[in-house]
Amino acid sequence: MKQIVLVSSIGVLTVAAGISFWLTQTDSSVDTAKSISNPQAAQALTQEPQSTSQNQNSGLTAGQQALLENPETQELANRLDFEEELHTFFANADGLSSEERAAEAAMLEQRLAEYQRKGQVSAAESLMVRIAMTKLTIEDEAAQKRALQGLIDRQNAAAQARKEEWLAKPRPEFEAYKQQEKQIVQEVMAMDKVPAGMTRNEYLRQRLLEARVAANNNGDAPQ
């Protein structure tokens, strides 16, 4: 008798659970049908979760996202990646074959040359990196010495070319400053009296110093 009651109870519970599940599915189907009949609601159902998911995944404000997408920020990130690759190359060079070291060094050399061209790496910095890579990639001592000397010669030639270019460039501001110096000397030497408590030479030095300070502030005087 107890078994019959227990079976009956289980049957009632099973039927109740089935009815509850059917009602739930029916309500869901009705809501879905209503949404489909309403285009705006259907669009909200399909788009809103995606937008919410994107915001949750990024966790960034609009300003932070704009900063990340700024070209200067991306350029800085690329530069940091390059520096990390350099450190990794030198740290792991002993574990690479000669061919692998040469290939990796050639790739890094191309990127180094690009950063130097953009002015993001100085000539001295690039020379130090190239010397270190040459010592790692050329095993023959005589060939290594020739390669290192070639690096130094090219560096010196480039520095000399930059110096000559600077000297040949017109500098009207500097010429104006030198002309002002001459005028000050002529003016002071022609004065009958100089300010009390100063000699003519002291007053001349003061005037020339004032002119030089003013020119330095304007970028006209030589450093």
Q: How much is the pLDDT for 112? A: 92
Number of domains in the chain: 2
* 142-165 per-position pLDDT tens digit: 999 999 999 999 999 999 998 898
138 against 36, higher pLDDT: 138
CA atoms within 13 A on the CB side of 210: 8
CA distances from 41 to 28, 29, 31, 37 (A): 15, 15, 10, 8
Do 163 and 201 lie in one domain? The reply is: no
In a shared domain, residues 207 and 140? no
Counting residues of the chain whose pLDDT is more than 70, the rounded percentage is 71
Here the contacts of 112-119 (C-beta below 8 Å, separation 24 or greater) are: 112/82, 115/79, 115/82
Report yes or no on 125 lying in a domain.
yes
Q: Based on the fold, state whether residues 179 and 196 are members of the same structural domain.
A: yes
- Say if residue 214 is in the same domain as residue 164: no
Which among 14-23, 172-181, 212-221 has the top mean pLDDT? 172-181
Instruction: Give the model's pLDDT for residue 57.
Output: 54
Residue 51 inside a domain? The answer is: no
Q: 139 versus 2: which is more confidently predicted?
A: 139
Instruction: Report yes or no on 107 lying in a domain.
Output: yes
Same domain, yes or no: 120 and 157:
yes
Identify whether residues 128 and 186 lie together within a single domain: no
Kindly report the pTM of this predicted structure.
0.49
pLDDT of 23 over the 80 cut: no
Q: Is residue 36 part of a domain?
A: no
Q: How far is CA 186 from CA 179, 181, 190, in A?
A: 11, 9, 6
Same-domain status, 103 and 83: yes
Domain that holds residue 194: 172-218
Instruction: Reply yes or no on whether the pLDDT at 134 is more than 50.
Output: yes
**pLDDT tens readout for residues 63-94:** 888 888 888 888 888 888 889 999 999 999 99
The model's pLDDT over 26-70, given as tens digits with 9 standing for 90+, comes to 444 444 444 434 444 444 444 444 444 444 456 788 888 888 888
